[in-house]
Structure 1
Amino acid sequence: MKAMIIQGPNLNMLGIRDPRIYGPVKLDTIHENIKKHAEQMGVEVGFFQSNFEGEIVDKIQECLGQYDGIIINPAAYAHTSVAIRDAIAAVNLPTIEVHISNIHAREEFRHKSLTAAACSGVIAGFGPIGYHLALQGLSQILSEIEAIKNARAQAQTQQTQQQN
């Protein structure tokens, strides 16, 4: 399994930006920890961070055919970006949205995520461990997709054998 971790605006400032909300850990450390967890799971991960909406859209589109799923923290773009939402929907890859803080316990405008509707699931408020939870969830979703494909193939084989 290959997963792309996409980080949105200002996440490059983790460890500096309001540690009461986002914690003291820097993005590089979060990525190192994700990579270790992924290796234990047998998952290959890639990382991307941008403060620019169009670059995030481009990266989502580049995942098609290269990755099995996406984990995205769209940050502030979760609340404003129809373009990122549409890109997630267009590639049709299992995608988990992650927020380090509990967006529902913050300002009213953060309570609604436009991007969440295009995602398979959302994890919010668990700090950096949310990415580990997302990896586990993505792995489960992909296992279920594979099981369904195998069951369909087996049913098709049985049907073909019965017709012959």
Structure 2
Amino acid sequence: MRTIFVLNGPNLNLLGEREPDIYGHTTLADIRRWCESDAEELGLAIDFRQSNFEGEIIEAIHAARKDAAGIIINPAAYTFTSIAILDALKTFNGPKIELHISNVHQREEIYHKSLVSKTATAVMAGFGAYGYRLALRAMAEMTR
């Protein structure tokens, strides 16, 4: 069974509480349940993780190198600051989807330049929490 790593960066553990006008009311636990259900339907396994610590995200990417067919990553604020996460993602040979809940291009300028996009196979932004479900379906096709 193909395993897809779904990695979530800092502050995403506060989804549903933090800035609901931008991120909505769906919690990360809700998203995880959706992903688990959709993965079963698609014949995939998922490894769903969230960390507020850059090193833990890097360790998860390293683990994905041997255990995953693909990575869906919402690096959150690390999108714009972490060369270390970019470098780790470069070591993963499978497809990588960079995911953002909000449309980062409609937001302040600081959110417009992603470091992660330089290694992403695809980028999704602005679909809200539902973007995770879309990304998982896309990943199912990309890893056939």
Same fold (TM over 0.5): yes
**Is residue 131 of structure 2 the alignment partner of residue 130 of structure 1?**
yes
Unaligned runs of 5+ in 2: none
Deviation (angstroms), 1:134: 1.0
Q: Which amino acid aligns with 1:122?
A: V
Structure 1 runs (4+) greater than 2 angstroms displaced? none
Question: What SS does structure 2 have at the residue aligned with 1:91?
Answer: coil
Find the aligned partners of 2:75 and 2:94 in 1 and give their Cα distance: 16
Deviation (angstroms), 1:38: 1.2
Question: What SS does structure 1 have at the residue aligned with 2:48?
Answer: strand
Q: Which of these two proteins has the greater Rg computed from alpha carbons?
A: 1
Instruction: Give the CA RMSD over aligned residues.
Output: 0.8
Question: What SS does structure 1 have at the residue aligned with 2:91?
Answer: helix
Contact 2:65 2:91 in 1 (8 A): no
Q: Which amino acid aligns with 2:72?
A: I
Contact 2:72 2:97 in 1 (8 A): yes
Q: Which amino acid aligns with 1:77?
A: Y
| Equivalent in the alignment of 1:52 | 53
- C-alpha distance after superposition, 1:11-50 (max 9, x if no partner): 0000110000000111101110111111111111111100
Higher RCO (CA < 8 A, seq sep 6+): 2
Identify, as 1 or 2, the structure richer in helix: 1
TM-score by length of 1: 0.85
Q: Which amino acid aligns with 2:115?
A: L
Unaligned runs of 5+ in 1: 144-164
| Number of corresponding residues | 143
